[in-house]
Chains A and B, each alone.
Chain A
Amino acid sequence: MTVIILLLIVSILIAGGFLIAFLWSVNDGQFDDDISPAQRILFDNKKTNTK
């Protein structure tokens, strides 16, 4: 049964990794603007790539 302790530590570490990823993305400003990225992806990239 003691293996459960190991499993728990591993699972918390993995979850911790996701928490860090989340905090990182917040810090990066990914949640500041929730409108333009959704629009931007729909634009035809033809012209922006020519630069």
Chain B
Amino acid sequence: MRSHKNISENSIACYHCGDTCSNDSIHIEQKYFCCTGCKSVYEILNENDLCTYYTLNQAPGNDQKKEIRKDKFAFLDNDEIKLKLLQFSCAKKSQLTFYIPQIHCSSCLWLLENLHTLDSGIIESRVNFNVKEVFISFENEQTTLRKVVELLSKLGYEPHLSLNEISQKQLNKIDRTRWYKIGIAGFCFGNIMMMSFADYFAISNTVEPAIKYFFSIMSVALSLPVLFYSANEFFISAWNGLKNKYLNIDFPVALALIITFSRSLYEIYNQVGTGYLDSMTGIVFFMLIGRWLQSRTYQSISFDRDYKSFFPIALNVIKEGYVKPTDLMEVKKNDIIQIFSNEIIPVDTILSKGVAKIDYSFVSGESEAVSIQPGEMIYAGGKQIGGLLELIVVKEVSQSYLTNLWNNPIFDKKQTSQQSIYDIIGKYFTYAVIAIGGIAALYWYWMGSTILMWNAFTTVLIVACPCALLLSQNYTNGNIIRILAKNKLYLKSAEVLNKITQINHIVFDKTGTITQANTSRTKYVGKVLDAELKLMIASLVKQSAHPASHLIFDYLNCNSTVEVQHFKEVEGKGIEAWINEHHIKIGSPAFVGGIHNIENKGTVVVVYMDGHIIGDFIITNKYRIGVSNLLSSLKKHFKLSLLSGDNDAEVKNVEALLGADSEILFNQSPTQKLEHIKYLQNALHHEVMMIGDGLNDAGALKQSAVGIAVADAKNSFTPSSDAIIDANKLTNLDTFIQFIKQGKYIIFATFSISAIYNIIGLFFAVQGTLSPVIAAILMPCSSISIILLTYGLTEVSAKHYKLNRD
């Protein structure tokens, strides 16, 4: 039996969510909880006999520290909003799909599929784990949409309801064409191969001509769906390339397919041979599988989020004394809206009532919340930390300050299909192949053998199809993407891999990226602080604007202050003054003086009174653990920069981390960040990788060659980016980059090996003697050996870098 209580060094893990409990006051029998929210979920489940939830996985819950406001989902009673969310609705029942980012384990799956025990109105609930969605159908008479959402939220599975998801709902159809294509290609390939066995074993002479002819006709029939359906993407892509006047890697493939097919038809029609249809269909089959592996993106991750997924769907609008939940898009200028604690303000407004303390860290990168007086502007994207607010709308959502960033042309720019390195190789490849084929053809023409001339020319094109290159690229990239995803770096597409290998400059955001947002913790060790001492220290630190002083003041939680005399501040070192006839000095150990032995990491602020040290405030490190190792190893290979929207209070720490030769800029607006990246790209010709987390980085992430968004919690918002990295794995970034670079060498290595096969094939081809048998042996040999090699080499490389591979 596993113990319910995890005690390690006096810390108790919450039975529901596994977080550390600050004390053991909240418990039911031997089960401890970190907060009342977790406890109440346990109670609900316990009452309804659903405790299997806790036996499937240990502490599977989502923490419930954030309380959900009572009427938060009142807007779901609004018929118009309801209509937008529901997929199907009739008098009796309604159906819809929720996106629930908190889904993470089999317990979640089990609980969400057993919702009907908690609300008998729910007919069915079905989880799609891959996309983290729950499909729910319920009876209208017994329950409502609002009740269902409230139930989910109460259990810690608050659905993500946002404008973006609503507008995309129709588009979100799963594309299954690749499965169809692979299935059909595999079927045809297998059957054509079966009919070619007689040729392989050189017993075709013993087979009756009628049967042989029948086999050939069947092969042609089976190859048609492969050529016209399964392989159509190669033709389409090659044609698009031609239209834009460049040869991409699909062009030689398409050319080889057409020539193989027509040559085979010619041979079969004239009964001079059996053609190469087995090789052709096989190649298509293997290449499609490679493409599927490479493009298997992670459906549950959205890479193209903008401000819309960040905003609520509805706001409470006060009209003639009544509160009416209104669709956000219908909120007009001069409307009065209500904003509750911990909610995001989606429009530009003027404060009319309430105590506003706005956290703009997400939109601007400032780490401290701003107090706002009635009559002042509050910009969209800020988060209210204080209580209830009443605000007057100044600008509608589509015109607000925050939305403006998305009006920057960079967001309109369609991702132009950049020529990848493989397309460039493809171009030269095509030229080289045509040249070899042409020379061979000319030679045979000169020798007076037109049959051999055609023979040589076509077989050269068939043999030299760059399938091997495509295979090694697709299979290597596919496996690298899979391994990286296991290590919580999720790439948008394989194209990103190639871009990462070219990076020479990495730009970091500060707040939330190299520091952890809102986590500076203050701790006090030393002599017990009585009320009088507390009051004196609080009064002193209140005089200083240093961030550490703010934090200490917040920690002491004193409302009143006393008079401070002879106040003196040494910038960045400490403060001293006389209070109530006591001389108090607060500051760094060096400033205060005296021998001090502290092993704690973080900023140490020493309190000194009348010749004695009383104790220390320790402000724990806000920087992510391991970030200094990461930066010092990245420094060796890349130029580093830091762009922060915050003030320069941390400049010393940052300089120490990044090194003196790195560029460090503070007080950067979102647009300035974008412009700076542009400057690095255009003026200095750097290939820039940007790592950021907030909406304020969205423009810079988009502008950079590679934008990596850092995701902190399971369900946190990440702006549009090329890749998403789990915050805890950020420190492995240098390993990931090296691994990706290794992948490039693997592709080149396997491609060189396949080139050997090609040269053997060409040896026969230029002589005009490539028989279908040799082609049929070479093709699967080269394909399968490439697939095995790429897989093996990437795994070995992952092992070398100690990456997680299960």
Contacts and interface: CB of A to CB of B under 8 A. Distances in A.
B211 A33 contact: no
B109 interface: yes
Contact of B174 (A1, A29, A35, A39): A29
B180 A23 contact: yes
A19 B187 contact: yes
B565 interface: no
Contacts of B56: 43
Contacts of A35: 129-130
B191 A47 contact: no
Given A19-B183, A32-B128, A5 B214 contact: yes
Given A15-B191, A36-B109, A48 B114 contact: yes
B117 interface: yes
A39 B112 CA distance: 13
Contacts of A40: 109, 113
Contacts of B431: none
B49 interface: yes
Interface residues of A, number: 30
B232 to A, nearest CB: 17
Contacts of A48: 113-114
Interface string B190-215: 11001100000000000110110011
A30 to B, nearest CB: 10
A43 B130 contact: no
Contacts of A16: 187
B285 to A, nearest CB: 13
Given A15-B191, A47-B49, A51-B116, A39 B109 contact: yes
Nearest to B52: A44
B184 interface: yes
Given A5-B214, A32-B174, A12 B191 contact: yes
A23 B268 CA distance: 31
Interface in A17-51: 18-19, 22-23, 26-27, 29, 31-36, 39-40, 42-44, 47-48, 51
A4 B198 CA distance: 12
Given A8-B218, A39-B106, A19 B129 contact: no
Given A5-B214, A47-B114, A15 B187 contact: yes
A26 B130 contact: no
Contacts of A18: 187
Nearest to A26: B179
Contact of A43 (B110, B180, B210): B110
Contacts of A11: 191, 194
Interface string B143-183: 00000000000000000000000000000001010011001
A8 B195 contact: yes
Nearest to A34: B130
B605 interface: no
B127 interface: yes
Interface in B75-128: 106, 109-110, 113-114, 116-117, 127-128
Nearest to B131: A33
A1 B128 contact: no
Interface string B40-58: 0000000001101000100
B117 to A, nearest CB: 6
A12 B218 contact: yes
A4 B211 contact: yes
A39 B179 CA distance: 23
A34 B131 CA distance: 11
B176 A26 contact: yes
Contacts of B176: 26-27, 31-32
Nearest to A50: B117
Given A39-B106, A47-B114, A2 B210 contact: yes
A15 B190 contact: yes
A34 B129 CA distance: 8
Contact of B129 (A2, A33, A42): A33
Contacts of A36: 109, 127-130
B128 A33 contact: yes
A15 B176 CA distance: 21
Closest 10 interchain pairs by CB? A35-B129, A36-B129, A39-B106, A26-B179, A19-B187, A33-B128, A33-B130, A22-B183, A26-B176, A39-B109
21 contacts: A1-B208, A8-B215, A11-B194, A12-B218, A15-B187, A15-B190, A16-B187, A22-B183, A23-B180, A26-B183, A32-B128, A32-B176, A33-B131, A34-B130, A36-B109, A40-B109, A47-B50, A47-B117, A48-B113, A48-B114, A51-B117
Given A2-B211, A39-B106, 5 more contacts: A23-B180, A26-B176, A33-B129, A36-B127, A51-B116
